[in-house]
Amino acid sequence: MNNRTETGLPHVLTSGAIRALAFIAGAVLFLLMLATFADVVGRYFFNHPLLGTYELTQLALALIIFSALPWVTWKSEHVEIDFVYTRLSPRGKKVNRICVDLLVIGIFVLVGYAVILQGIKAQASGLVTEDLGIELYGAIFYMALCCLMSGLMVVQKLIKDATHD
């Protein structure tokens, strides 16, 4: 989002939640590093790897990616290919931004909804990890929440752009 200073309760709540998710992503990454280190040390020095490292790694990577998604969206740090965008007129750029933002909102909502459905299925079936028996529905619902929050970030950006142009 542009480098303007934003104020107001919605911005404070949103930025606080997004910063908390970014902190979670960093903390999970740190814990993943510790688990990998413990697994390597256990495997090569004690001939006893850390049980469940593979599934912890899978779960941690999903949590890192989805936790960082709202932050990346909030900061508008997604990879962009702008070779067409730079050739558009100012009006064309505005129309393009609105169309892309609406498409992205729709995608985040659809993905969030699909992930919620997967979470409901995982909860109903009692889906757990193989070695450690960790229930997966909580992580799945968390990923859905992160998708929906990312969509909310785009909605906020769209509203801000519409009121400042």
pLDDT, tens only, 24-40: 999 999 999 999 999 99
In a domain, 31, yes or no: yes
In a domain, 114, yes or no: yes
- Rounded Cα gap, residues 54 and 52, in angstroms: 5
pTM of this structure: 0.80
Amino acid at 81: I
Supply angle C-alpha 138, 142, 146, rounded to 5.
Answer: 170
Q: Which band of pLDDT confidence, cut at 50, 70 and 90, is reported for residue 9?
A: very low
pLDDT of 20 over the 70 cut: yes
52: left (phi over 0), alpha (psi -120 to 50) or beta: left
pLDDT of 63 over the 90 cut: yes
> Domain count of the chain?
1
Ranking 2-6, 51-55, 105-109 by mean pLDDT, the lowest is 2-6
In a domain, 4, yes or no: no
In a domain, 118, yes or no: yes
Q: Which domain holds residue 88?
A: 9-164
For residue 141, the number of C-alpha atoms closer than 13 Å in the C-beta half-sphere is 9
In a domain, 80, yes or no: yes
Q: Which band of pLDDT confidence, cut at 50, 70 and 90, is reported for residue 41?
A: very high
In a domain, 59, yes or no: yes
Supply angle C-alpha 9, 104, 73, rounded to 5.
Answer: 50
In a domain, 112, yes or no: yes
Q: What's the whole-number average pLDDT of the chain?
A: 86
Q: Which band of pLDDT confidence, cut at 50, 70 and 90, is reported for residue 5?
A: very low
pLDDT attached to residue 1: 41
CA dihedral over 87, 93, 99, 104, signed as positive or negative: positive
In a domain, 2, yes or no: no
